[in-house]
Amino acid sequence: MTITGKQLIAGNWTDGRADSFYGVNPATGENLEPAITAADEFQVIEAVNAASACATEFANLAPAKRAKFLNACADEIMALGDELLERVSAETGYPLARAQGERGRTCGQLRLFADWIVQGEYLDARIDTAMPDREPLPRPDLRSFNQALGPVAVFGASNFPLAFSVAGGDTAAAFAAGCPVIVKGHNSHPGTSELVAQAIDKAVKSTGMPAGVFSLIMGSGRRVGAELVQAPGVKAVGFTGSLQGGMALFNLANARPEPIPVFAEMGSINPVVLLPEALKQKAETIAEGFVGSLTLGTGQFCVNPGLVLAVEGEELDRFISATSDALAKVGCGVMLNENTLKGYQSGVARLRDQEGVEQVAAGEAAGSEKGFTCQAGLLTVDAKNFLANKELQEEVFGPMSLVVKCRDHAELLQAVSALQGQLTGTLQCTESELANYDDLVEVLRQKVGRVVCNNFPTGVEVCHSMMHGGPFPAATDARFTSVGTMSIARFVRPICFQNYPEALLPDALKNSNPLNIARLVNGEKTSDAI
């Protein structure tokens, strides 16, 4: 395939009508050919209108047809071959193996969702049959199921050019739900975005989907991104990125004449709590795992462990010392783009300026060569200063973590209680400590979407039970995940049919159960026909 620098609007590849820009190789700082033409507002509206025009047709397709489309998307992404992996690597600085792993994850989630929607559980079909003789009033026949919400705007994330981008989790979930998608591609990987859009475009055509089901818009976030969220045809927004970016979209969406839900996963600092007995038994092993998690992907994960909390003392010193030794061997990593690097550098500088913060360890210094290289590190602060200073809870995106030293368990509990909402909370502990510290565990549980025990938070499995989200500010709505099959629920709404003729009901609700799905019939779950 050739990267053309064009926009994909409902099946048509056209030049963007605004300015143009280039992808940049973060390892060299050099532009990558070709120039990408940026879309203007009218092209956004064109894409939204095409999505709206086919929304009902796409929503009403049998799940099996949409499943075929999802699988075709995965096939076409695989068919892009090494060209895709090489472009990912060139645009992100990630090694080829990471690109390959992320491609596997992306295709895996498309295929998982394909299997899942055919099973029909996500439809939540419910039937309460008529009771014409009930006193004092008869009960009419009532049947409900989840129908697609309508066109969804998806904002690609910089750090997962495949898995949280053009054909990433939000897009897969929206397609699975039956919603057309308009992606605002991230400017940090425009070539990758276009290649994946080419794959989806082929899948749309080969499986006979309506053309408006997918568009890729590239351009300025402030211009085309804002336009997209405000377009009346858009019915929900999926976003992964910064708190600032997510809240800007959230506020725009709520100020619309018709407010719409924004599912913004805005990252967090993912506290790791080290309990004393675990530290005593294996401070060095924990340190090794911790440094691996902290520096994976140059720390550019929303579940990166940016905060460690523990009671001070000899055991914590052993952890810090082992972490420092391991960090010293960490080479300087390449960050995704210049803005990410600048954000990291200024974030680290800001943290270091705070009362009581000391840097106790660092990775290899960033070289003087071209490219957006950064230095990993570890900071410490005592709990008193941590509790007095909310700025210490602000995410610094990259391989830097802050150890909060608490005087005793009471202060540790106080520090955990002071945390904002988080994607994850990790406990390094023995089983008996976990039982004994139930007060702390309960507090942590109220703060997070996922509790990790003697693992590290990086590595977000795509499966049925994954919760990737959490209380604000980790996400705008703690009730939804952006990873795993539960994420489809973001993009559907229940609709109820009362006293509706059997023959004209949607298949999910017909007596004969032609989709062969489990349904709640008069309060009992069954796959039987009625």
Interface positions, 293-332, toward its own copies (CB under 8 A): none
Q: How far apart are CA 104 and CA 77, in angstroms?
A: 10
* Tokens encoding 255: 């100020």
Q: Which is nearer to its own copies, 349 or 453 (CB)?
A: 453
302 catalytically annotated: yes
Give the residue with the Cβ less far from its own copies, 16 or 506: 506
Answer for which of 365, 410, 496, 529 binds its own copies (CB under 8 A) is 496
Q: Is 429 a catalytic residue?
A: no
Can you tell me which of 28, 354, 454, 511 binds its own copies, judged by CB under 8 A?
A: 454
Touching its own copies, residues 394-423 (CB under 8 A):
421
Candidates 54, 73, 302, 429; catalytic one? 302
Task: Scan residues 133-192 and list those touching its own copies (CB under 8 A).
Answer: 136-137, 139-140, 142-144, 147, 149-150
Q: How many residues bind its own copies (CB under 8 A)?
A: 75
Nearer to its own copies, 263 or 344 (CB): 263
520: contact with its own copies by CB under 8 A: yes
Chosen residue from 208, 285, 442, 514 binding its own copies by CB under 8 A: 442
Instruction: Report the Cα–Cα distance between both ends of the chain, in Å, rounded.
Output: 51
277 binds its own copies (CB under 8 A): no
* Contact set for its own copies, span 2-61 (CB under 8 A): 55-56
Query: 36, 77, 203, 452: which one contacts its own copies (CB under 8 A)?
Result: 452
Which lies closer to its own copies via its Cβ, residue 149 or residue 211? 149
Minimal distance in Å, beta carbon 302 to its own copies?
15
Beta bridge partners of 262: 237
Alpha helices per DSSP H over 60-189 = 63-79, 81-92, 96-119, 169-177
Instruction: Return d(Cα 21, Cα 17) in angstroms, integer.
Output: 12
For residues 174 and 238, give the distance between their C-alpha atoms in angstroms, rounded to a whole number: 9
The residue whose two tokens read 């973001």 is 490
What is the 3 state secondary structure string of 58-74?
Answer: HHCCCHHHHHHHHHHHH
How do 492-498 and 142-148 pair as beta strands?
antiparallel
Bridge partner residues of 520 (DSSP): 126, 525
Contact pattern for its own copies over residues 342 through 361, marking x by CB under 8 A = --------------------
Tokens of 115: 């299997």
Region near its own copies per CB under 8 A, out of 218-226, 363-371, 401-409, 497-505: 497-505
Residue 21: its H or E element: strand 20-25
The catalytic position among 265, 315, 395, 411 is 265
| 467 lines the binding site for its own copies (CB under 8 A) | yes
10 Å CB burial of residue 116 (0-12, 13-18, 19+) is: buried
Of 459, 514, 516, 529, which one interacts with its own copies (CB under 8 A)? 459
Regarding 465 and contact with its own copies (CB under 8 A), the answer is: yes
Minimum CB distance to its own copies smaller for 139 or for 370: 139
Residue 391 interacting with its own copies (CB under 8 A): no
Could you say which residues in the range 193-222 bind its own copies, by CB under 8 A? none
Contact stretch for its own copies (CB under 8 A) within 131-139, 166-174, 266-274, 311-319? 131-139
Position among 208, 232, 259, 292 found at the interface with its own copies (CB under 8 A): 259
Amino acid at position 513, single letter: N
Q: Which of 266, 309, 466, 488 binds its own copies (CB under 8 A)?
A: 466
Pairing of β 214-217 and β 12-14:
unpaired
Phi/psi for 192 (5° steps) reads: -60, -45
Specify the DSSP class assigned to residue 398: S
Q: Which of residues 95-124 bind its own copies (CB under 8 A)?
A: 101, 115-116, 121, 124
**376 C-beta neighbours (distance < 10 Å), count:** 25
Judged by CB under 8 A, the residue of 1, 35, 360, 434 near its own copies is 434
Please identify which residue in the block is written with the tokens 């498309």: 110
Closest CB 346 distance from its own copies, rounded Å: 23
Site for its own copies (CB under 8 A): which residue of 2, 244, 368, 499? Answer: 499
Whole-number minimum distance, CB 174 to its own copies, in Å?
14
Contacts of 50 (CB under 8 A, 6+ apart): 9, 10, 180, 211, 212, 215
**Can you tell me the distance from the alpha carbon of 431 to that of 238, in angstroms, rounded to the nearest whole number?**
38
For residues 144 and 217, what is the distance between their CA atoms, to the nearest angstrom?
35
**Minimal distance, residue 420 CB to its own copies, in Å:** 8
Could you tell me the two tokens for 143? 């049947």
DSSP 335: P
Joined tokens for residue 488: 């489809």
Rounded CA gap, 403 and 382, in Å? 8
Query: Minimum distance between the CB of residue 511 and its own copies, rounded to whole angstroms?
Result: 14
Alpha-carbon distance of 487 to 240, in angstroms, equals 13
| Smallest separation, CB 21 to its own copies (Å) | 33
Only one of the segments 5-13, 268-276, 380-388, 477-485 lies at the binding site for its own copies (rule: CB under 8 A); that segment is 477-485
Q: Name the token pair of 188.
A: 């940090």
Please check whether residue 334 is in contact with residue 373, taking contact to mean a CB–CB distance below 8 angstroms: yes
Interface stretch with its own copies, choices 224-232, 327-335, 402-410, 452-460 (CB under 8 A):
452-460
Burial tier of 429 (Cβ tally within 10 Å: 0-12, 13-18, 19+): buried
Please select the residue that binds its own copies; options are 2, 353, 368, 503, rule is CB under 8 A.
503
Report, in Å, the least distance between residue 457 CB and its own copies: 8
The residues carrying an active-site annotation are 265, 302
